[in-house]
Structure 1
C-alpha cells in the first residue's frame, strides 16, 4: 500500500496462489473469469443489480413479493453465468446450458412480477401453471446454491422438504400429518415464509447494502491499511506477526462476510511472517484461522448475521451489536494471550525496525477508517442499518478523494458496484435456500418438536441439553456460510434453549457462536484447512490448534445462557464492567493452562488448576469469581518464584 513499506509485498503470496486457495476452500470465489463482450455483459448485469438495490433503499420499494423476486432473479441469473456446474467447468467462457439456465432462472423468478395481481387474487387456490413455476424456482435455487455455497446446505434443505412430504411416516416426536407436494411448493414460493421469507428479505435490504459498503471501502485500500495498522501497533511486540494476524483479522471482520476469505486475504502476508520468525506451520495457520473466524462474531456486522438476528429475535440491531461486543473482546483477548504465551515459551521475537512500515505514513492514512467510524456513529445515533449503510457508502466515496491512488472515478464506482453485487450472490442463494428450511419449520412445527426431543434426550438437565445443542449447532454449521449457518442453527437448535427459560437473544447467540466455530472444528474446518494451505502444515493438526486457540468460543456461549449479563441483558454499567474484567483475567488462566507457560513453564497439574480457575472467573458470580481469583493468585505467586529461578523457554512444543 505504501512506498515506504516493503514487508507486505515481500511476504504476500502471489495473486494467482491466493485466488487458487480461495477457489479451493471458498465456493463463492470459484467464479468464471470472463473477458470480452460476455465479461462486459455480466459486469453490466451486476452493476444493474447494485443500482436496483440502491434505488429500492432510497425510494419506497415495490411490494415484498416483487422486490424479493427481483433480488432473487438478479442473483440467480448472475450465479448461472458466473459459476460453472462443476469444479472442472470452463473458467473463461459460459457453457451454452448455463446461459439457458440463467435465462430460465430469471424468467421463472419474475413469475411473481408478471402475475402479481392474479396471484394475490387466487391465494390458496393456485393453478397447475403456478405450481410448475414454483417447483421450477425451487430446483433452480437449490442448484444455484450448490454452485456458489456448497452441497451441505442443499442436502439439509432437501432433507427438510422430504421430511415435510413424508413426515407422516416418521416415528416418535418427529411424526406429523404430512404435506402434499402442491401445498409444499405453494408454501415455498407463494408465501412469505419460504424462499421469499425473512432471510431473503434481509439479504435484499440490510445485507446487500453493507456488502456494497464493504466493496466501496476496499477500493480505498482499507484492507491493506488494516495490515499496516496492525503491524504498527503489534509488529515489534513478542511474537509480533501472530499478534498482527489477530489484530488485522479483527479489523477485517468488520467488513468481511467469510472466515475463509478473511484467512486467505490477511493470512497471505501474516502466515509467511510467522513462519519466517520460527512459528510452526500448524500454529501459524491456526492463529490466522482462529482470528479470521472470530471476525464473524465481531460487531457491528458479524458476518451479516446481526441483521438476521435482529429480524428473528425482534431485538433492535444496535442492541445486538452492543451485546456481542463483550464476547468478541473476550474471544480475541484469549487468542492474543495464548499467542503471547506461546511466543514467550519458545522465545520468538517481534519484527525489527527494518521490517516495520513507516509509522508516520501509516498514521497519515488513518482517515481510511473514517467510513467505519462514521457508520458505527450513525447506528449509535439511531439511524436504521439501511440508512447508515447508504451514508457509509457516500462517506467512503468522499474519503477516496483524499488520495490520487484511491480516488473514485467513474470506472472505480462501476467496479465497486460490480464487486458489491458479486459479494451478494452467495448470501442471496444461501438465504433463499435457508428460507426453505424455515418454511418447513413453520409448516410442520419441527423446530418445537426438535426442541422437545433435545430436552427429553437430555433428561431435563440444562447443561446436558446445552451440550447436545452445541453439538447440533456445530454439525449443522459445517460447510455453510455465516448467514445460512445462523439461519439453520437458530431455526432448529435455538427453540430448545428458549424452552428451558433462557432469554431469546442468549439462545440465538449460543447457536450462532457454535455454528461459526464449525469453520475451525475438525473434521470440516474450512478456515483452518485454508490456513494450512498457506502455512504448508498438516490440515487436521491446524484445525486442532485452531480449536484450542478459539477455546473462548466454546466456553462463553454457555455463559450467555447461564448468566446473560455478559450480553448486557438486565445488567448495569458496573456489573458489565466487572464481568469484562474478571472474564479477561479468567482468559489469562485458561491460556496459561492450554499453552503451558505464563511467566515460566507451567507444570501439568498447574495447567489443570489454572484452566479451572480461569473458567470460574469467566462464569459471572461472586462465589466463582472469589474462588477463581484466589486460585489464580496462588499460581501467579508460584510462577513469580519459578521465573526468578528458571525463566528459559522450553525446546519441546506443548501445543501441537
Structure 2
C-alpha cells in the first residue's frame, strides 16, 4: 500500500486491519449502520432525537474499533478499545431507551442518572473525536465547556474580564442537561444533518467508487485533454472536478485522481512539486462542486433554512469559475515551461472509454435532476439514487460476467460483494463526520446557551473599528487557523456559529446588503483551503507522497494556486450575482460569469507572474488592479478591468522576445 493510500485509510477509513472475528465484526458493523440509515430514511417515522442517538452509537463503536490509538495495535483490537466502544454505545443509546422519561416525564430537568450518562457520553465523545479527527476539536469544545461553567453562578465561580464574561455561569447538571437531554447540544442540527442527508450522499459516493466510476472519469478526462499542452495537468483538473461532484473528500480526490495524473504530469515535464501542487489545488476544490459538496454544505442549507437544491444552484458558478481558472493556471505553467502534450497513440481512445463507463453518468444525472428540477428532498433524492446505483452495479457485473463467459451467477455474486464493500466504506467514511458534527454541536449548544455570539459582535467591531474588509480578513485567518486542526465540517460549524453572524451584522452596519448565503460560503471556502495550507495540509501530504516531492515545496506551491479560491470568496461576497442572486436573465448571467472569470484570470496571472510571458512588478500590479475592478459589480468597473487585462495581454504578445 502506498503512503498516499495509507493516509486515506488512516484518516478516513481507520487504520486498523484486524483478522478473523475482528474483521467480520467491523464489516458487520459498517454494513449494519448503512442498512439502518437506508431503513430509517425509507420509513421516515423514526423520531429525530432517537435517530441521531443511534447514528452516534454506531460512530462511537467504529471509532474505537476501527481507529487504533496513537500507539495501539493495528492488527488486533485491545480490551480497552472494546470497553470504550461499549461505553460509547451505552451512553448514546441511553437517550433512546429512556426517551420518554427525558422528553416527557422530567420536562427537560435532568435527573442524577441523566447527568451521569451525559457526563459519560461527553467524555467518550471527546476521546473518540481526539482519536479520529485530532485533538484540536475536542480541545476547543473543552474550552467552551469551561467557559460555560465560569461566572458568579457557575460551577467555577471566578469571573472573566467584563468584555468576555457575557453570562452568569452554569452548574454542571444544567450544562449537561443542555448538551445531552435537549436537541441543542450533541443531538443538535449538525448531527441531525449527518444522520440524514450526509450519510446517504456519502453512501452514494462510496458505491459509485466501488462500481468503478472514479477510474472512468479520470480516463475520460485524460483521453479528451491529454494531447494538449500540459495535457495530463489539464486532465487532472477536469477529472478532479468530475470526481468532486460525487466525493466530498479532498484527500480521497487527490489520491484517486493523483495516483494516475501526477506520474503523467511528471512524465511530460512538470517538476514533482508542481505536479503535486496542481493536484492539491484541484483535489481540494472538489468539495466546491455540486451536487455533493461534503457534509458542511448540507449543514449550511439547514442553517440557512433553504432547500439543498437551491444551495447547489447558488454554489455552481463559483465552483465552475474556480476550476476554469485553475485550468488556465496549469496552461500558463505549461507555457512557461515549454511543455507539450502526450502523443495521441499513447492515450486511451475517447469512444471506447465513453462506451465503457457512460452508464455511470445515469445516477449522477438523475441526482441532479431530482434535486434541482424535481425538487425532491435531499434524503429522497439520495435514497432513490442509491437504489438506482445498486441496481446498476448488479446489472454491470452480470453483463461483464456474461461477456467474459463466467456466468450470470458469478457476476451477481461479485455485484453483491461490491455493494457490501460500498456499504462498509460509507460507514467508515462517516465516522469522522458524525463525531465532528456531534462535538461541534457541543460548541453550538454552548454558544446558544451563553449568548456569546451577541457579545462577539461588539468585541470584533471594537477591535476592527467597524472596517468590513478587516473583519473579513480576520474571518479568513481564523478559518485557516482552525482548519489546521479541524476537519472542514467542524471548521464550518464553528465559523457559522461564531463568525458569520458577526460578519453579517457589521456588513449591515457598513451599508452592504450581503445575502447570508454569501457569508456562509465565504467561511466554507476558507475552511476548504485549510486542506492545502501548510503546516497541516493532508491533501499536500497525499500529493507529495504520490509525486515523491518535498512536502513543504508542494504545499506552498499548492497554496499559491489556491489563492485564486480566496479571491473568489471575496468576489461573490461583494458581488452576490456570482451566486446567481438577483440575476434577471441568461444574458446578465453570462456577463456576470465572464467578468468573474476575467477577474479570476487576472488575479491568478498576477500571483504567478506570468501571462503570455514573464511579467515584471508593474504588469502584475496592473493585473491586480484589473482583478479588483472586476470584483465590484457594474458596467464601468467591468470595462475598466477587462481593458486592463486585455492591455497587459496584448503588450505581452507584442513585446519583443
Query: Structure 1 residue 535: deviation in Å?
Result: 1.8
Q: Deviations over 1:583-629 (max 9, x none)?
A: 11222222332223333333332122123213322432222212111
Q: Is the 8 A contact 2:221 2:235 kept in 1?
A: yes
Which aligned segments of 4 or more residues in structure 1 are displaced greater than 6 angstroms? none
CA deviation string 1:469-520 (max 9, x = no partner): 1112222222322222211111121111111223211111111111111111
Q: Which residue of 2 aligns with 1:6?
A: none
Q: Distance in 2 between matches of 1:267 and 1:150?
A: 25
CA distance in 2, matches of 1:370, 1:99: 42
Asked if the contact 1:282–1:538 (Cα under 8 Å) also holds between the matched residues in 2, the reply is yes
The answer to whether the 8 Å contact 1:227/1:244 transfers is yes
Partner of 2:25: 41
1:638 aligns with 2:638: no
Residue from 106, 110, 114 that aligns with 1:126: 110
SS in 1 for 2:294: helix
Task: Measure how far apart 1:167 and its partner are.
Answer: 5.3
Change (3 A) 1:340 1:614: same
In structure 2, the CA distance between the partners of 1:60 and 1:594, relative to structure 1 (3 Å rule), is closer
Q: 2:369 aligns with which of 367, 377, 399?
A: 377
- In structure 2, the residue matched to 1:67 is 51
* Greater alpha carbon shift after TM alignment, 451-460 vs 282-291: 451-460
For residue 105 of structure 1, what is the aligned residue in structure 2?
Answer: 88
1:170 corresponds to which of 157, 160, 173: 160
Deviations 1:157-179 (A, max 9, x none): 11111111125622243212111
CA distance in 2 between partners of 1:454 and 1:351 (Å): 53
Q: Tell me if 1:623 matches 2:636.
A: yes
Within the candidate set 522, 527, 532, 1:520 is matched to: 532
Q: Deviations over 1:140-193 (max 9, x none)?
A: 111111111111111111111111112562224321211111111111111101
2:275 aligned residue? 284
Deviations 1:178-212 (A, max 9, x none): 11111111111111010000001001100001111
RMSD: 1.7
1:221-260 superposed matches below 5 A: 221-260=212-251
2:400 to 397, 404, 415: 404
2:75 to 92, 95, 114: 92
Q: Secondary structure at the match of 1:302?
A: coil
Q: CA deviation at 1:38?
A: 2.0
Q: Are 1:18 and 2:4 an aligned pair?
A: yes
Note the residue ranges of structure 2 that are not aligned, 5 or more in a row.
153-158, 402-410, 509-513
2:100 aligned partner: 117
- 1:34 deviation in Å? 2.1
Bigger mean CA offset, 581-590 vs 383-392: 581-590
Specify the alignment match of 2:308 in structure 1: 317
Q: 1:52 and 2:45 equivalent?
A: no
Measured against aligned partners, the alpha-carbon deviations of 1:112-144 in whole angstroms (never above 9, x if no partner) come to: 111112212113322211101001001111111
Structure 1 CA distance, aligned partners of 2:470 and 2:151?
27
TM-score scaled by structure 2?
0.92
Q: Counterparts of 2:529 and 2:332 in 1: how far apart (Å)?
A: 23
For residue 387 of structure 2, the aligned residue among 382, 394, 405 is 394
State the distance in 2 between where 1:235 and 1:480 align: 36
Aligned match of 1:430:
436
Residue 377 (structure 1) shift: 0.7
Distance across 2 between alignment mates of 1:498 and 1:586: 25
Alignment of 1:442-453 (within 5 A): 442-453=448-459
Q: Say if 2:4 and 2:542, in contact at 8 Å, map to a contact too.
A: no
Q: CA deviation at 1:530?
A: 2.4
**Which secondary structure does the structure 1 equivalent of 2:8 belong to?**
helix
Q: Which moved more, 1:196-205 or 1:362-371?
A: 362-371
**Secondary structure in 2 matching 1:348:** coil
Instruction: Give the structure 1 partner of residue 142 of structure 2.
Output: 158
What per-residue deviation string (whole Å, max 9, x for no partner) do you get for residues 415-448 of structure 1? Answer: 2221221111111111111100111110111222
Give yes or no for contact 2:304–2:517 (8 Å, CA) kept in 1. Answer: yes
CA distance in 2, matches of 1:91, 1:127: 40
> Distance between the aligned counterparts of 2:533 and 2:39, measured in 1?
41
Counterpart for residue 339 of structure 1? 330
Measure, in 2, the Cα distance between the counterparts of 1:117 and 1:284. Answer: 58
Asked whether the 8 Å contact 1:334–1:549 carries over to 2, the reply is no
Report the Cα distance in structure 2 between the residues aligned to 1:555 and 1:590, rounded to whole angstroms.
8
Q: Name whichever of 554-563 and 506-515 sits farther off.
A: 554-563
Equivalent residue of 1:31, what SS? coil
1:594 is the counterpart of 2:577: no
Q: Distance in 2 between matches of 1:587 and 1:563?
A: 13
Shift of 1:276: 2.0
Q: Partner residue of 1:330?
A: 321
SS at match of 1:106: helix
Which moves more between the two structures, 239-248 or 262-271? 262-271
| Pair 1:209-2:220 in alignment | no
Change (3 A) 1:223 1:491: same
For 1:9-66, what per-residue CA distance to the aligned partner results, in whole angstroms no more than 9, with x for missing partners?
xxxxxx443332335xx62244211221221122112111111111110013322221
| In structure 2, distance between residues paired with 1:162 and 1:115 | 28
Q: Is the Cα contact below 8 Å between 2:540 and 2:558 reproduced in 1? A: yes
Gaps of 5+ in 1: 1-14, 647-656
| Aligned pair partner of 1:613 in 626, 647, 651 | 626
In the comparison of the two structures, how many residue pairs are matched? 627
8 Å CA contact 2:453–2:497 kept in 1: the answer is: yes
The residue correspondences of 1:529-540 to structure 2 (distance < 5 A) are 529-540=541-552
CA offset at residue 396 of structure 1?
1.2
* Residue 449 to residue 540, structure 1, CA distance change in 2 (3 Å): farther
Q: Give the whole-Å Cα distance in 1 for the aligned partners of 2:349 and 2:645.
A: 40
> Given the two structures, how large is their TM-score scaled by the length of structure 1?
0.92
Change (3 A) 1:441 1:296: same
**Structure 1 match to 2:424:** 418
1:483 is matched with which residue: 483, 489, 500? 489
Most deviating of 304-313 and 472-481: 472-481
